[in-house]
Amino acid sequence: MSIADIHFQQKTLLCSSSHHGHEGAFSPNGTFCITQRVCDFQLDQFGVVNNSVYCNYLEHCRSEAFHALGFNVHETARQGKALALSQLNLAYRRPLRSRDTFEVKMWVERVTGARVVLGQDIFLRATGEQVLTAEAIIVWLDSQYRPMRVPPVERAAFQTLYEQGFRRHGKVVE
């Protein structure tokens, strides 16, 4: 077993052991994973998680991933810039119910000069069933809230994650 394999197992255990959504980790393939549990107040009148709550689950995963990368959204704002979600597309597969434990995963699908496109999935921990798949488009805004280019440090970090995903899937990195 290599050091990379041990590191990956430690990160996987860290992700899998967190039921309150306060920990998460990047795997060697550039995917961030966080485990959360459904709370009763998140249910609708049909006994399943309300559709709007899934956006919160996805946002929490993105926020924790950005934090793990060392990005401080508040510091970015103090510098006169803003990080914004410009688009979120969801495809629901199955509902979550009270006390379900689930994993939210996030990876980089594309990095351009002006945006970062993230893929996200939610899986039920007990069965591995896919609950939801999503695509989130993140942009940076200047102090006037006009779109700006992705800052170099952030772009490099997201590009590295993108390339890690390509290596894992046997694709050629340009």
Catalytically active residues are: 44
In this structure, which amino acid lies at residue 110? R
Cβ partners under 8 Å of residue 20, min gap 6: 36, 37
Q: How many other C-beta atoms can be found within 10 angstroms of the C-beta atom of residue 121? A: 20
Contact (Cβ atoms closer than 8 angstroms) between residue 31 and residue 23: no
Integer CA distances (angstroms), 107 to 51, 145, 146, 161, in order: 22, 26, 26, 7
Q: Which two tokens stand for residue 113?
A: 């000069």
- Strand 115-124 to 130-141 pairing: antiparallel
Question: For 8-148, where are the E strands, in sequence order?
Answer: 24-26, 32-37, 82-92, 101-111, 115-124, 130-141, 147-148
Record the tokens describing residue 15, joined without a space: 């992700």
